Every structure is written in structure tokens, then in C-alpha cells.
Amino acid sequence: MDDIDNKNVDRLFIEDKEIILVGTAHVSKESTELVKRIIESEKPDTVSVELCESRYQSIKQKNRWQETDIMKVIKEKKAFLLLSNLMLASFQKRIAEKLDVQPGQEIVTAIETAEIQKAELHLADRDIRATLSRTWRIMGFGDKMKVLVQLVLSLGDVSDISKEDIEKMKQQDMLESLLAEVGKSLPVLKKILIDERDQYLAQKIKTAPGKRIVAVVGAGHVPGIKKHWNDDIDINALEQIPPKGRLAGMLKWIIPFFICVMIGAGFFFGGSKAGTDMAVYWVAANGIFAGIGAVAAFAHPLTILSAVLAAPLTSLNPMIAAGWVSGIVEAFLRKPRVIDFEHLADDIGSVKGFWKNKVTRILLVVVFTNLGSAAGTFVAIPLMAKVLN
């Protein structure tokens, strides 16, 4: 058929299986039409799609956000991960609206066409939570800040992005496109977001049930899938969350201990005034900067107060973060309503919406308060050191 000659369609073989690999752009009408034609003409036993179970359920259950437990998200330290995911979704959504197409519509079309053709549906991607957790675990504080900057920049205007630019995105995964600049200085980021998923997708696709399989994936993954097609890949190893780095685990205890030692040294060597001044610098810097973070998230006045009061103490406790305290206070004072969850998909389409919606504002409170508290720590240490000089 003519579509098989399309540059975004490949035929791969493994044992007695034939796989028609379709590379798509997640915001392209042409990709959506191509997927439909391929499945209808090939009449495969199985349609394999670039989805994990959680993302599949998010497509099938449109009201999934109403079941989100925001308190649980905060307590499990997943506020930044959820906020990052929503920012990425916002970027994709706004580009899709510009081109009058639903984001990920080619995947939805693949699912619907598979049902019509009585083909078995096969989910081929790694769980998004495992991917993001592996990414987060290997990144240091500075690297996380770089990613945050890229995510914030993605909230900007997309009016200058043309249809041709979107078609070029067929050569990259959406995550890779958005984090391209970060990836230049963080090759390990690309390794987890792209390279590992290439391997995972290759292994899952070639072990899909049936002898004739249509696999629908982002075109940026196609070269990697073909590269690893004949490799023996350990799926379990790619799903594991690496343990926290020993240095990072030690630093969260060493820094509070160091601060306490500094204040103690101030009292011992400089007297009560020096010790008191150092303690005041610590409390003021942490409290003020954490408060600024909460203000930037448009938090409730009592939430801002909780951030100011909690930061000096939580910064000395490795088990608690100021953002968790302020986030829980914000969630209690401005508890998200059902309508907030219902409007979440629309609200993330604009910068204003992130601050307007109570769900995303709580996430912003957590993240910004933590950033403010961290900044306060770095500001306080040199000020305290001067007292000892």
C-alpha cells in the first residue's frame, strides 16, 4: 500500500511476527489520519500504542482528576512531579489548540480504530511515574532548577510556532523537544526520558501478542526502537527506581547539623549577642524567602504566615519541607472543589489558569515555598559566617 512507503512507516520482523511501526507527532492531524488508514488497511491482530496503564486510564476515564487526593500528593513528595506533568500537558495542549487538533488524538484514534477492527490493544510504554521518578532521582538541585526554568518558559506564547514547526517535532518526543536545551548539559536526562524508553518500547512491541502488529509511537522514538530491535532488553531493570544518592542522603542531614554547629559556635566563641544574631539571620532569611515563594504562588495570607514560621524549623529537619506545611495549609484553607478538577484541563492552557485553579495553585505553593526556603538557606549561611569573623 502507498502508506507503507511513507517515511513515517516502517516494517519490522521478529521470528514469525510482522510489525508495522508508525511514527507520529502527538499534535498532528496528518498523523491521526495516517494511523487510521494503516490500521484499517493492515487489519492487524494487535495494535500496540505508546501508552502506559495510568495514561490509558486517563484517556478512558475523563473525570480522573476528580479522584486526585491533593493531600496525598503533597505527603508523598510528588507535588513537583505532578506540576511538571501539568506544565508539559499545557505546552502540548496550547500547540494542539493552535492547530485545531486534540493532543494525543492519534493515540485515541488508534484505540478506537483497533476496537472497530476487533484488534487486541497492547500498551507498550513504561509507566510515566517510573519515568519521572527515575529522572527526578538522578537530578541534583541545580539540574532541577534548569528543568523548572524550561517548564516555566513553556508556559509562554506559542503563537509564533507554525504548523511546519510542529511537523518538525515528529523528529523528537515532546519531552525531548521541550527540554532540548537542558538535555545538552544533562545527557543523563535524555538517557532516561528517551533512550531508556526506546529500549522499553522496542521490547514491549516485539513481545506483543499476535503475528501482525501495528505499533503507534512518537516518531522521535522510531530510530531508537529500530536500533534496539534485536537487543535482549531487561524490562524489570528499566522499571526500577534507583536509590537516592549517598551524597544527597548525607547532605540533608549534614547541612542542618552544620547550621546548628555554626549557631552553637556563635554562642561559644562570640557570646550571646553573636549567637543570637546568627539565629536571627537564619530565621529571617528562611522565613522571608519562604514567604516570598508563597506570595509568588498567590497563597492565602495564613498560608504565607505558615511558610514564614515553618521554614526556619523545617530547614533543620530533613524529614519535613516548608512547602509541605504551606501546601497542606493552603489545601485546608482553599480546598479544591469538584469544579476545580473539572476545569483543570482547560485552566492549564494558560499561565493565569495555573494560578487561578486551586489544584495547581496548591502545587505552586508547595514548589515555590520549598524554593524560597532553599534560597533562604544559601543566603543565611554567609551572613551567619560573617558574625564569626
Residue 196, amino acid? E
* Strand locations in the chain (E): 9-14, 17-24, 46-49, 120-123, 212-218
What pLDDT sits at residue 136?
72
Dihedral over Cα of 104, 352, 75, 324: its sign: positive
Alpha-carbon distance values, 321 to 54, 186, 287, 361 (Å): 28, 26, 13, 17
Rounded CA gap, 327 and 368, in Å? 10
Alpha-carbon distance values, 198 to 104, 195, 217, 242 (Å): 18, 5, 10, 19
Reference 359, options 57, 73, 2; nearest CA is 73
What pLDDT sits at residue 5?
47
pLDDT tens for the 389 residues of the chain, in order: 455 546 789 999 999 999 999 988 766 678 889 999 999 999 999 999 998 887 787 777 655 555 566 777 777 666 766 776 676 666 666 665 665 556 578 888 999 999 999 999 999 999 877 877 777 777 666 666 666 666 665 555 555 555 566 555 544 444 445 544 445 556 666 777 778 899 999 999 999 999 999 999 988 789 899 999 999 999 998 888 776 666 666 777 888 888 888 888 888 888 888 889 999 999 999 999 999 999 999 999 999 999 999 999 998 887 788 998 999 999 889 888 767 776 776 777 677 878 888 888 998 999 899 999 989 998 998 988 888 77
Is-contact 34 22, C-beta < 8 A?
yes
Task: Please give the DSSP secondary-structure letter assigned to residue 5.
Answer: G
- Secondary structure of the chain: what % helix, strand, coil (to 5)? 70, 5, 25
Reference 92, options 344, 349, 341; nearest CA is 349
What pLDDT sits at residue 130?
81
What pLDDT sits at residue 307?
95
What pLDDT sits at residue 82?
72
